[in-house]
């Protein structure tokens, strides 16, 4: 039994925030952002007078899921498990997976969240494959979704991070199949000694009341990143993970039709493509439109790649990610 992706979908907020829009909030420029990251615009949910976003993260995920279900030609009745990858759950607990179960009326199927940041979808697909191979589930709804905009410090203090991130959700239907397609191999890694190089501290389970005034003053409710260090590690780990997953699957770079990297930064994507010898047309990129949407970036990119006709039946596909944790990993699939 193999685990194949049989449908994809995505949903992004209507509101486009251009680099020019950000210059009204902080000292930055379109040129700085484009040169450093390749990002031209991102989508941010609108926030109402009550301070709440127009949709919850789970509602975004449900929209992406409906598109993926239609694409796979299945209904809610066919889904027997939900995996929701996010670093930004709507609330501290329970996770977004159970809200999806409710929103899509999935009838008490199992639901779990994966907290693996930008690597969430890669970990989620590996987990989905394991559940399918073991017979625990047959048709899994795998979602990566993020509301980043509400966490960002859009003042000068947070400008190195705030310009990079966007909101959105992507979804995939992962199903058991006897056919020669689907996940061939996955590799998963972490290195917690670098956890503090890219993190958001609040809410903090080991602090009474979940935060202190000092933590708030220090910006602990916003993501913080050591950009240069993340850049260096990401470039190295992306390449390692691609090499490792290809080796595990017994294939070489020339066999791979498309690489979909987590959309962290166009400079990282370009460096990885060059080092690995993949020409630009075999490395998918949509970061210019959406920025870094963390766990949502790979499933959004996959859904767009499918709709652009970038994958045909039998193609070998590599999904690869690196992110906070540090965590990194890759999946090799036959489409
Ligand atoms: N607009 C304009 N200037 C900015 C800025 C912004 N949004 N953010 C920071 N700067 C300034 C800095 O203050 C610094 O000024 P200084 O030289 O006067 O001190 C200057 O730009 C250079 O900053 P630096 O941090 O050296 O830039 P960089 O070349 O390292 O680029 C990142 C910053 C964040 C774009 C880059 O480090 C990066 O892409 N890192 C990886 C990010 C990533 O992919 N994260 C997600 C991983 S999953």
Q: What is the mean pLDDT of residues 154-174?
A: 97
Query: What pLDDT does residue 104 have?
Result: 98
Mean pLDDT along residues 55-63: 98
Percentage of the chain beyond pLDDT 70 is: 100
Is any atom of ligand 1 closer than 6 Å to the C-beta of 163? yes
Instruction: Please state the CATH superfamily assignment of the domain spanning residues 2-179 in this structure.
Output: Thiolase/Chalcone synthase (3.40.47.10)
Q: What pLDDT sits at residue 116? A: 96
As a whole number, mean pLDDT of residues 302-330 equals 98
Given pLDDT bands bounded at 50, 70 and 90, which one contains residue 38?
Answer: very high
Q: H or E element: which one contains 59?
A: helix 57-72
CATH T-level assignment (fold) for domain 183-334: Peroxisomal Thiolase; Chain A, domain 1 (3.40.47)
CB of 323 closer than 6 angstroms to any ligand 1 atom? yes
State the distance from the centre of ligand 1 to the C-alpha of 160, rounded, in angstroms.
5
pLDDT at 271: 96
Please state, in angstroms and rounded to a whole number, the distance separating the CA atoms of residues 215 and 315: 49
* Nearest alpha carbon, ligand 1 atom 41: 231
As a whole number, mean pLDDT of residues 11-29 equals 98
In the prediction, which pLDDT does 210 show?
96
What pLDDT score does 211 carry?
96
- Residues with catalytic function: 118, 262, 292
Choosing from 38, 160, 191, 235 the residue with most ligand 1 atoms within 8 A of its CB, the one to mutate for a pocket test is 160
Instruction: Give the ligand 1 atom nearest the CA of 265.
Output: 44
**pLDDT tens digits, 169-191:** 999 999 999 999 999 999 999 99
Radius of gyration of the chain (CA): 19
The pLDDT assigned to 135 comes to 97
- pTM of this prediction exceeds 0.85: yes
The arithmetic mean of pLDDT across residues 159-174, rounded, is 98
Say yes or no: do domains 2-179 and 183-334 share a fold: yes
Tens digits of residue pLDDT in 220-275: 999 999 999 999 999 999 999 999 999 999 999 999 999 999 999 999 999 999 99
Determine which residue's CA is closest to atom 8 belonging to ligand 1: 160
pLDDT band at residue 201 using 50, 70 and 90 as cut-offs: very high
Mean pLDDT (the chain) is 97
Q: Is 97 in a helix, a strand, or coil? A: helix
Q: Helix or strand or coil: residue 58?
A: helix
Would the CB of 263 count as within 6 Å of ligand 1?
no
Count of beta carbons in the 10 Å neighbourhood of residue 293: 31
Residue 20 pLDDT class (50, 70, 90 cuts): very high
Query: Which CA distances in Å does 57 have to 96, 120, 296, 315?
Result: 7, 15, 11, 32
Cα 75 to Cα 71, 104, 170, 271, 315: the distances in Å are: 10, 10, 17, 41, 27
Atom of ligand 1 at shortest range from CA of 22? 7
159 CB within 6 A, ligand 1: yes
What are 122-148's pLDDT values in tens digits?
Answer: 999 999 999 999 999 999 999 999 999
Amino acid 327: pLDDT: 98
Q: Ligand 1 pocket: which of 227, 234, 268 to mutate (most atoms <8 Å of CB)?
A: 227
What are the structure tokens assigned to 168, written together?
């959105």
Domain boundaries, the chain: 2-179, 183-334
Kind and range of the H or E element at 169?
strand 168-177
Per-residue confidence at 199, pLDDT binned at 50, 70, 90? Answer: very high
Work out which ligand 1 atom sits closest to the CA atom of 117: 48
Q: Which atom of ligand 1 is nearest to the CA of 234?
A: 47
| Ligand 1 neighbourhood includes 28 CB (under 6 angstroms) | yes
Closest C-alpha residue for ligand 1 atom 23? 160
What secondary structure, in 3-state letters, does 227-238 show? HHHHHHHHHHHH
Cβ-based neighbour number of residue 97 at 10 Å: 24
160 lines ligand 1 (CB under 6 A): yes
Residue 241: the pLDDT is: 98
Q: Is 224 helix (H, G, I), strand (E, B) or coil?
A: strand
């Amino acid at each position: 039994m193999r685990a194949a992706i049989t449908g994809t979908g995505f949903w992004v907020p209507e509101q486009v925030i251009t680099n020019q829009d950000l210059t009204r909030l902080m000292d930055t420029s379109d040129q700085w952002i484009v040169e450093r990251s390749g990002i031209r615009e991102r989508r941010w949910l609108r926030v109402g007078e009550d301070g709440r976003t127009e949709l919850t993260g789970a509602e975004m995920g449900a929209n992406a899921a409906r598109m993926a279900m239609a694409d796979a030609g299945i209904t809610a009745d066919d889904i027997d498990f939900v995996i929701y990858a996010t670093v930004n759950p709507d609330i501290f607990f329970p996770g977004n997976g159970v809200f999806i179960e409710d929103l899509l009326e999935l009838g008490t199927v199992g639901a779990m969240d994966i907290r693996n940041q930008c690597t969430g979808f890669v970990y989620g697909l590996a987990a989905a494959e394991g559940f399918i191979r073991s017979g625990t589930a047959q048709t899994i709804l795998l979602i990566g979704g993020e509301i980043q905009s509400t966490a960002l410090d859009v003042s000068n203090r947070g400008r190195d991070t705030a310009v990079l991130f966007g909101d959105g959700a992507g979804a995939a239907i992962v199903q058991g199949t006897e056919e020669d397609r689907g996940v061939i191999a996955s590799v998963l890694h972490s290195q917690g000694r670098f956890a503090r190089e890219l993190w958001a501290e609040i809410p903090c389970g080991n602090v009474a009341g979940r935060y202190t005034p000092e933590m708030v003053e220090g910006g602990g409710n916003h993501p913080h990143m050591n950009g240069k260090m993340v850049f260096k590690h990401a470039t190295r780990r992306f390449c390692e993970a691609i090499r490792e997953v290809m080796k595990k699957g017994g294939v070489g770079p020339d066999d791979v039709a498309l690489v979909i990297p987590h959309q962290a930064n166009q400079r990282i994507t370009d460096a990885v493509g060059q080092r690995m010898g993949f020409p630009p047309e075999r490395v998918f990129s949509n970061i210019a439109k959406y920025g870094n949407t963390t766990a949502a970036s790979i499933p959004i990119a996959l859904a767009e790649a499918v709709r652009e006709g970038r994958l045909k039946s039998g193609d070998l596909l590599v999904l690869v990610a690196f992110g906070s944790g540090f965590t990194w990993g890759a999946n090799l699939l036959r489409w």
